[in-house]
Protein backbone atom coordinates (compact mmCIF):
# COMPACT_ATOMS: atom_id res chain seq x y z
CA UNK A 1 0.00 0.00 0.00
CA UNK A 2 1.37 3.41 -0.92
CA UNK A 3 0.59 7.03 -0.16
CA UNK A 4 -1.38 8.41 2.75
CA UNK A 5 -4.29 6.43 4.16
CA UNK A 6 -6.94 7.85 6.46
CA UNK A 7 -9.56 5.95 8.45
CA UNK A 8 -12.45 6.07 8.85
CA UNK A 9 -13.61 7.78 5.67
CA UNK A 10 -16.86 8.88 7.30
CA UNK A 11 -17.71 9.45 10.94
CA UNK A 12 -20.92 10.57 12.58
CA UNK A 13 -20.76 11.30 16.27
CA UNK A 14 -22.69 13.00 19.00
CA UNK A 15 -21.28 15.97 20.86
CA UNK A 16 -20.44 13.91 23.94
CA UNK A 17 -18.68 11.05 22.13
CA UNK A 18 -14.97 10.36 21.99
CA UNK A 19 -13.52 9.12 18.74
CA UNK A 20 -10.17 9.06 16.94
CA UNK A 21 -9.09 9.64 13.38
CA UNK A 22 -6.14 7.71 12.05
CA UNK A 23 -3.59 8.57 9.39
CA UNK A 24 -0.80 6.38 8.06
CA UNK A 25 1.80 7.30 5.45
CA UNK A 26 3.90 4.82 3.51
CA UNK A 27 6.16 7.40 1.86
CA UNK A 28 9.00 7.52 4.37
CA UNK A 29 8.25 11.16 5.10
CA UNK A 30 9.28 12.90 8.30
CA UNK A 31 6.64 15.62 8.56
CA UNK A 32 2.91 15.11 9.00
CA UNK A 33 0.01 17.55 9.14
CA UNK A 34 -3.65 17.78 10.10
CA UNK A 35 -5.90 20.15 8.13
CA UNK A 36 -9.57 21.05 8.44
CA UNK A 37 -11.54 21.76 5.26
CA UNK A 38 -14.98 23.33 5.61
CA UNK A 39 -17.30 24.06 2.71
CA UNK A 40 -16.31 27.12 0.67
CA UNK A 41 -13.31 27.81 2.92
CA UNK A 42 -9.57 27.30 2.41
CA UNK A 43 -7.75 24.47 4.11
CA UNK A 44 -6.95 25.38 7.70
CA UNK A 45 -3.73 24.03 9.13
CA UNK A 46 -4.31 22.53 12.57
CA UNK A 47 -1.18 20.68 13.67
CA UNK A 48 2.29 19.93 12.35
CA UNK A 49 4.61 17.15 13.45
CA UNK A 50 8.25 16.73 12.47
CA UNK A 51 10.06 13.54 13.48
CA UNK A 52 7.18 12.77 15.89
CA UNK A 53 7.51 16.14 17.65
CA UNK A 54 4.71 18.69 17.47
CA UNK A 55 6.02 21.89 15.95
CA UNK A 56 2.78 23.72 15.32
CA UNK A 57 -0.56 24.07 17.06
CA UNK A 58 -2.52 26.62 15.11
CA UNK A 59 -4.69 27.79 18.02
CA UNK A 60 -6.79 24.65 17.83
CA UNK A 61 -9.34 24.08 20.63
CA UNK A 62 -8.33 21.47 23.18
CA UNK A 63 -11.23 19.23 22.17
CA UNK A 64 -8.89 18.20 19.33
CA UNK A 65 -5.89 16.27 20.61
CA UNK A 66 -3.22 15.03 18.20
CA UNK A 67 -0.87 12.12 18.74
CA UNK A 68 2.12 11.04 16.68
CA UNK A 69 3.63 7.79 17.99
CA UNK A 70 6.08 7.52 15.08
CA UNK A 71 6.84 9.23 11.77
CA UNK A 72 4.39 6.99 9.90
CA UNK A 73 1.30 7.37 12.07
CA UNK A 74 -0.77 10.33 13.16
CA UNK A 75 -3.95 10.37 15.19
CA UNK A 76 -6.50 13.05 15.97
CA UNK A 77 -8.46 12.35 19.14
CA UNK A 78 -11.86 14.02 19.29
CA UNK A 79 -13.79 14.82 22.45
CA UNK A 80 -16.90 16.89 23.12
CA UNK A 81 -17.05 18.37 19.64
CA UNK A 82 -19.40 21.11 18.48
CA UNK A 83 -21.62 21.18 15.37
CA UNK A 84 -19.27 23.71 13.74
CA UNK A 85 -16.54 21.06 13.86
CA UNK A 86 -18.32 19.15 11.10
CA UNK A 87 -15.89 19.20 8.18
CA UNK A 88 -13.46 17.16 6.12
CA UNK A 89 -10.30 16.40 8.11
CA UNK A 90 -7.27 15.85 5.95
CA UNK A 91 -3.92 14.37 6.84
CA UNK A 92 -0.83 15.18 4.79
CA UNK A 93 2.85 14.37 4.82
CA UNK A 94 6.00 15.84 3.30
CA UNK A 95 9.59 14.69 3.09
CA UNK A 96 10.62 17.04 5.84
CA UNK A 97 9.55 20.34 7.30
CA UNK A 98 12.02 22.85 5.90
CA UNK A 99 10.20 25.77 4.38
CA UNK A 100 6.83 24.26 3.69
CA UNK A 101 6.49 26.03 0.39
CA UNK A 102 9.36 24.02 -1.05
CA UNK A 103 7.83 20.72 -0.03
CA UNK A 104 5.01 19.13 -2.00
CA UNK A 105 2.47 17.73 0.43
CA UNK A 106 0.83 14.37 -0.07
CA UNK A 107 -2.71 14.18 1.21
CA UNK A 108 -4.99 11.38 2.28
CA UNK A 109 -8.61 11.38 1.15
CA UNK A 110 -9.79 12.64 4.50
CA UNK A 111 -12.39 11.75 7.09
CA UNK A 112 -15.80 13.36 6.59
CA UNK A 113 -16.91 14.19 10.13
CA UNK A 114 -20.49 15.04 11.03
CA UNK A 115 -21.41 16.16 14.53
CA UNK A 116 -25.02 15.65 15.56
CA UNK B 1 -3.57 41.43 6.15
CA UNK B 2 -2.23 38.52 4.11
CA UNK B 3 -4.65 37.21 1.54
CA UNK B 4 -4.83 34.65 -1.27
CA UNK B 5 -7.60 35.06 -3.79
CA UNK B 6 -8.84 32.54 -6.27
CA UNK B 7 -11.98 33.08 -8.30
CA UNK B 8 -14.78 31.56 -6.27
CA UNK B 9 -17.01 31.31 -9.31
CA UNK B 10 -16.76 28.10 -11.30
CA UNK B 11 -15.00 28.28 -14.64
CA UNK B 12 -16.92 26.57 -17.44
CA UNK B 13 -15.15 25.90 -20.72
CA UNK B 14 -15.54 23.75 -23.80
CA UNK B 15 -13.44 20.66 -24.33
CA UNK B 16 -10.28 21.38 -26.29
CA UNK B 17 -9.98 24.99 -25.12
CA UNK B 18 -7.34 26.33 -22.76
CA UNK B 19 -8.43 26.84 -19.17
CA UNK B 20 -6.75 29.66 -17.25
CA UNK B 21 -7.09 29.92 -13.49
CA UNK B 22 -5.83 32.84 -11.43
CA UNK B 23 -4.26 33.06 -8.00
CA UNK B 24 -3.64 36.53 -6.57
CA UNK B 25 -1.98 37.28 -3.29
CA UNK B 26 -1.38 40.35 -1.18
CA UNK B 27 1.05 41.12 1.62
CA UNK B 28 3.13 38.03 0.90
CA UNK B 29 6.51 37.61 -0.75
CA UNK B 30 6.50 33.85 -1.26
CA UNK B 31 9.59 32.09 -2.47
CA UNK B 32 7.48 29.18 -3.73
CA UNK B 33 3.99 28.66 -5.05
CA UNK B 34 2.21 25.34 -5.53
CA UNK B 35 -0.86 24.13 -7.38
CA UNK B 36 -3.04 21.19 -6.35
CA UNK B 37 -6.03 19.41 -7.84
CA UNK B 38 -8.91 18.23 -5.65
CA UNK B 39 -11.73 15.97 -6.80
CA UNK B 40 -15.01 15.73 -4.83
CA UNK B 41 -14.60 13.56 -1.74
CA UNK B 42 -10.84 13.24 -2.24
CA UNK B 43 -7.75 14.91 -0.84
CA UNK B 44 -5.74 17.46 -2.83
CA UNK B 45 -3.14 16.09 -5.23
CA UNK B 46 0.08 18.01 -5.83
CA UNK B 47 0.56 19.16 -9.44
CA UNK B 48 3.33 21.73 -9.75
CA UNK B 49 5.70 23.85 -7.71
CA UNK B 50 7.24 27.05 -9.04
CA UNK B 51 9.98 29.14 -7.44
CA UNK B 52 10.10 32.92 -7.36
CA UNK B 53 13.02 33.02 -9.79
CA UNK B 54 11.13 30.85 -12.31
CA UNK B 55 8.76 32.73 -14.54
CA UNK B 56 7.13 29.65 -15.97
CA UNK B 57 6.93 25.91 -15.40
CA UNK B 58 5.39 23.21 -17.58
CA UNK B 59 4.27 19.64 -17.07
CA UNK B 60 2.55 17.93 -19.97
CA UNK B 61 -0.60 20.02 -20.69
CA UNK B 62 -0.12 22.15 -17.57
CA UNK B 63 1.66 25.48 -17.40
CA UNK B 64 2.13 27.72 -14.39
CA UNK B 65 3.43 31.27 -14.36
CA UNK B 66 4.58 33.27 -11.36
CA UNK B 67 4.70 37.06 -11.54
CA UNK B 68 6.11 38.45 -8.31
CA UNK B 69 5.56 42.02 -9.48
CA UNK B 70 1.86 41.51 -10.12
CA UNK B 71 1.67 39.10 -7.15
CA UNK B 72 -0.12 36.62 -9.34
CA UNK B 73 0.14 33.06 -10.58
CA UNK B 74 -1.71 31.76 -13.62
CA UNK B 75 -2.45 28.07 -14.10
CA UNK B 76 -3.17 26.93 -17.66
CA UNK B 77 -4.52 23.62 -18.90
CA UNK B 78 -4.22 23.33 -22.67
CA UNK B 79 -6.43 21.06 -24.79
CA UNK B 80 -8.73 20.65 -21.79
CA UNK B 81 -10.69 17.42 -21.32
CA UNK B 82 -13.78 16.59 -19.24
CA UNK B 83 -11.44 14.57 -16.98
CA UNK B 84 -9.75 17.85 -16.04
CA UNK B 85 -12.94 18.93 -14.25
CA UNK B 86 -12.02 19.43 -10.59
CA UNK B 87 -11.22 22.13 -8.05
CA UNK B 88 -7.75 23.63 -8.33
CA UNK B 89 -6.03 25.07 -5.28
CA UNK B 90 -3.06 27.37 -5.16
CA UNK B 91 -0.85 27.43 -2.10
CA UNK B 92 2.12 29.54 -1.14
CA UNK B 93 4.62 29.75 1.63
CA UNK B 94 3.45 32.37 4.08
CA UNK B 95 5.65 34.71 6.03
CA UNK B 96 5.94 32.16 8.88
CA UNK B 97 7.08 29.36 6.56
CA UNK B 98 3.69 27.63 6.61
CA UNK B 99 1.88 26.57 3.46
CA UNK B 100 -1.22 28.72 3.02
CA UNK B 101 -4.00 27.58 0.66
CA UNK B 102 -6.48 29.53 -1.41
CA UNK B 103 -10.11 28.43 -1.39
CA UNK B 104 -9.85 26.98 -4.89
CA UNK B 105 -11.54 27.45 -8.26
CA UNK B 106 -13.81 24.78 -9.71
CA UNK B 107 -13.23 24.00 -13.36
CA UNK B 108 -15.95 22.33 -15.44
CA UNK B 109 -14.95 21.15 -18.91
CA UNK B 110 -17.94 20.37 -21.10
CA UNK B 111 -17.70 17.82 -23.92
- What is the pLDDT, as a whole number, of residue B1? 72
Residue A30: count of CB within 10 angstroms of its CB? 18
Q: What percent of chain B has pLDDT over 70?
A: 100
**What are the backbone dihedrals phi and psi of residue A9, each rounded to the nearest 5 degrees, phi first?**
-80, -30
Q: Do A102 and B98 touch (CB under 8 A)?
A: no
List of residues 6+ apart from B105 with CB closer than 8 A: B6, B7, B8, B9, B10, B11, B21, B22, B87, B88
pLDDT tens profile B56-90:
999 999 999 999 999 999 999 999 999 999 999 99
List of residues 6+ apart from A99 with CB closer than 8 A: B31, B32, B93, B97
How remote is the C-alpha of B52 from its chain's centroid? 15
- What is the pLDDT, as a whole number, of residue A113? 97
- What is the pLDDT, as a whole number, of residue B74? 97
- What is the pLDDT, as a whole number, of residue B23? 96
Considering CB atoms only, which of B30, B45, B89 is closest to A101?
B30
Strand B32-38 versus strand B86-93 pairing type:
antiparallel
Q: Do B34 and A104 touch (CB under 8 A)?
A: yes
Which residues of chain A does B93 touch, with a Cβ-Cβ cutoff of 8 Å? 99-102
- The burial of A92, by beta-carbon neighbours within 10 Å (0-12 exposed, 13-18 middle, 19 or more buried), is given as buried
Q: Which of residues 65-94 of A touch B (CB under 8 A)?
A: 90, 92
Measured CA to CA, the distance from residue B111 to residue B51 in angstroms comes to: 34
Q: How much is the CA Rg of chain B, to the nearest whole Å? A: 13
- What is the pLDDT, as a whole number, of residue A2? 66
pLDDT class of B46 with cuts at 50, 70, 90: very high
Q: Hey, is A110 helix, strand or coil?
A: coil
Helix (H) or strand (E) holding B3: strand B3-6
On whether the CB atoms of residues A81 and A15 are closer than 8 A, the answer is: yes
Considering CB atoms only, which of B41, B42, B102 is closest to A42?
B102
Q: Do A101 and B42 touch (CB under 8 A)?
A: no
pLDDT class of B28 with cuts at 50, 70, 90: confident
The whole-chain average pLDDT of chain B stands at 93
- What is the pLDDT, as a whole number, of residue B15? 98
Which of A54-58, A69-73, B13-17, B106-110 has the lowest average pLDDT? Answer: A54-58
- What is the pLDDT, as a whole number, of residue A46? 95
- What is the pLDDT, as a whole number, of residue A52? 85
**DSSP code string of A21-79:** EEEEE-S--SEEEEEEE-TTS--EEEEEEETTEEEEE-S--TTEEEEEEETTEEEEEEE
Low-confidence ranges of chain A (pLDDT < 50): none
Q: Do A100 and B93 touch (CB under 8 A)?
A: yes
Which residues of chain B does A40 touch, with a Cβ-Cβ cutoff of 8 Å? 8, 103
Q: What percent of chain A has pLDDT over 70?
A: 96
Q: Do A104 and B97 touch (CB under 8 A)?
A: no
A32 touches chain B (CB under 8 A): no
Considering CB atoms only, which of A43, A56, A105 is closest to B46?
A105
pLDDT tens profile A21-46:
999 999 999 999 999 999 888 999 99
pLDDT tens profile B81-96:
999 999 999 999 877 7
Amino acid sequence: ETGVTQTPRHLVMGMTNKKSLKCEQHLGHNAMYWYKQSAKKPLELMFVYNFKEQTENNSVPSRFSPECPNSSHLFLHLHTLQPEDSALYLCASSQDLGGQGNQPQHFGDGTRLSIL
Amino acid sequence: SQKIEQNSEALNIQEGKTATLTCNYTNYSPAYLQWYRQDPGRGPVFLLLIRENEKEKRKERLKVTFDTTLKQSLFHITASQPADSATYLCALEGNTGKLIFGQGTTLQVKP
